[in-house]
Chains A and B, each alone.
Chain A
Amino acid sequence: DTGVSQNPRHKITKRGQNVTFRCDPISEHNRLYWYRQTLGQGPEFLTYFQNEAQLEKSRLLSDRFSAERPKGSFSTLEIQRTEQGDSAMYLCASSRDRNSPLHFGNGTRLTVT
Chain B
Amino acid sequence: AQTVTQSQPEMSVQEAETVTLSCTYDTSESDYYLFWYKQPPSRQMILVIRQEAYKQQNATENRFSVNFQKAAKSFSLKISDSQLGDAAMYFCAYRSGGGNNNAGNMLTFGGGTRLMVKP
Contacts of B35 in A (CB 8 A): 101
A13-21, A38-46, A61-69, A72-80: which lies at the B interface? Answer: A38-46
CB–CB B47/A45 < 8 A = no
- B84 interface residue per 8 A CB criterion: no
**By the criterion CB–CB under 8 Å, are A55 and B109 in contact?**
no
Of A4, A42, A106, which one neighbours B112 at CB under 8 angstroms?
A42
Range of interface residues on chain B? 20 to 34
CA distance A55 to B102 in the complex (A): 8
Determine whether B71 belongs to the interface, using a CB cutoff of 8 Å to chain A. Answer: no
A42–B112 CA distance with the chains assembled, in angstroms: 6
Contact between chains at A102 and B112 (CB < 8 Å): no
Q: Which residue of B lies closest to A42 (CB)?
A: B109
Asked whether B104 lies within 8 Å of A55 as measured between CB atoms, the reply is yes
Residue of B102, B103, B104, B107 with most chain A CB atoms under a 10 A cut-off: B104
Which chain A residues border B110 with CB–CB below 8 Å? 42
Q: In the complex, which residues of chain B have a beta carbon less than 8 angstroms from the beta carbon of A55? A: 102-104
**Complex CA distance for A45 and B106, rounded to whole angstroms:** 7
Within the complex, which residue of A42, A98, A100, A104 is in contact with B44, where a contact is CB–CB below 8 Å?
A104
Chain B, 46-80, contact with A by CB distance < 8 Å: what is the 0/1 string? Answer: 11001000000000000000000000000000000
- The chain A residue with its CB closest to the CB of B99 is A98
Q: Does A48 contact B (CB under 8 A)?
A: yes
> Is the CB–CB distance between A98 and B109 below 8 Å?
no
The listed residue (A4, A56, A91, A106) touching B104 by CB distance below 8 A is A56
Chain A residues within 8 Å of B42, by CB: 106
Is A50 interfacial (CB 8 A cutoff)? yes
B105 within 8 A of A: yes
Residue of B nearest to A106 (CB): B44
Shortest distance between the CB of B25 and any CB in chain A (Å): 12
Q: Report if A41-B46 is in contact (Cβ < 8 Å); known contacts: A98-B104, A102-B105.
A: no
Q: A-contacting residues of B (Cβ < 8 Å)?
A: 4, 6, 35, 42-47, 50, 91, 93, 99, 101-112
Residues on A lying within 8 angstroms of B by beta carbon are 3-4, 31, 33, 40-45, 48, 50, 55-56, 91, 95, 98-102, 104-107
